[in-house]
Structure 1
Amino acid sequence: MFFYQKKKYSNFFSSDIKIHVYGTSFTIHTPCGKIDISLPFLGYQNISNALAATALSFAVKIPLKIIKIGLLNTPIVSRRLELITLAKNKILIDDTYNSNVSSMISAIKVLENMPGYKILVTGDMAELGEKSVLYHRMIGNTANLSKINKVFSVGNISNEITKVCNNGKHFFNKKHLSEYLKKLFLKQEQITILVKGSRSTKMEEIVEELIKESKKKC
């Protein structure tokens, strides 16, 4: 059993959680002691991953100091909540590796804790079956209740997200969306843009356009 915070009878749990712009810091408690960890990963889900990895390592009798070294050397996976600093106070989060309901909710939570003007850019969540419209609207309602300033969508069904958002706007192609984002990028003194979508939507094309634009301004 493992938890974010201490629970009665839990063997592995975390405490002293601190979420910051460039990652997450926390303490992992085990039956044989505790370790302080600071990881360059965004989102609470990575705390759960670290706890699971610790429990598995503990089961095969790996010492805590070796577990800590392993966690600290975990590589950042490209396009999975990958933080990119475009300029001073201008942050881009590339989460275009894939998308589903749970990862979208996690992404919204991450974006809420980021500084400045916050924009969620989303493509379709693919392969959701008969309830696809319902799930997209659910994400729209989640975003609507968050501290995100704007939600932009592009794709065949992602408009179901933005149509229920008070601050939503749908685009019919990525070119127009990219141009709109570039203007906001220049206008806002401090901004965080998170881009996400299923693999088939190729939302990384928007990320690449924003990176190109930032290099022009350097």
Structure 2
Amino acid sequence: MAVERLSPTIRLIDDTYNASVPAMKAAADLLSTFSGKRWLVLGYMAELGEESVELHRQVGQHAAQFSFEHVLTYGEDTKAISEETGGIHFEDHQSMLEYIEQNILLDSQSQHTLLVKGANSAQMGKVAAALKEKLK
């Protein structure tokens, strides 16, 4: 996990290599300790079998208690996380990135902390890399 300040008002926590239910819950716990606008940006957890939707839902229920300002998800089963948190689900990385960029630009005076996490196969590392490039 790497924490990087991209600008005076934007911090990125890149935790994109791996994802499990305990790791996703721990990521939400970590993000909850930051002040300002908190962005939980999640890709799916891989190889969960028939329990996948329910396990994603459990992550969403855990994250919901923190009332994050933004919860964004990518990947079929992560819809359950968005449903539990009132978040927004995206079908592709590009739409997600555009949403983040537009909303941060609209609220450029606030402090923003973005935590990006997901299974390696969800390629959320590409999202983190693009954010580093676009928001610096």
TM-score of the pair, normalised by structure 1: 0.59
Structure-to-structure mapping, 1:14-93, within 5 angstroms: 80=1, 82-93=2-13
2:129 maps to which residue? 208
- Identify the residue that residue 89 of structure 2 maps to in structure 1: 170
RMSD between aligned residues: 1.1
- Greater helix percent: which structure? 2
Residue 125 of structure 2 aligns with an amino acid whose one-letter code is E
- Cα distance in 1 between the residues matched to 2:96 and 2:79: 13
Separation in 2, partners of 1:99, 1:214? 25
Aligned to 2:81: 161
Given the alignment, which residue of 116, 122, 135 partners 1:195?
A: 116
CA–CA separation in structure 2 for the residues paired with 1:171 and 1:214: 20
- Highest Rg: 1 or 2? 1
Match of 1:124 in 2: 44
Give 1:103 shift: 0.4
Structure 2 unaligned segments of length 5 or more: list them.
none
Moved over 6 A (4+): none
The residue type paired with residue 181 of structure 1 is: I
> Which deviations, in whole Å up to 9, do the C-alpha atoms of 1:122-166 show, x marking residues without a partner?
011011122111110011111111142121101121111111223
Amino acid at match of 1:183: Q
Question: Does the CA contact (< 8 Å) of 2:11 and 2:113 recur in 1?
Answer: yes
Please give the TM-score of this superposition, normalised by the length of structure 2. 0.93
Determine if contact 2:38/2:112 at 8 Å carries over to the other structure.
Answer: yes
Q: In structure 2, what residue type is equivalent to 1:94?
A: D
**Structure 1: runs of 5+ lacking an equivalent:** 1-79
2:115 counterpart SS class: strand
State the number of aligned residues: 134
Q: Per-residue deviation at 1:183?
A: 1.4
Q: Match of 1:164, SS?
A: helix
State percent identity of aligned pairs.
Answer: 35
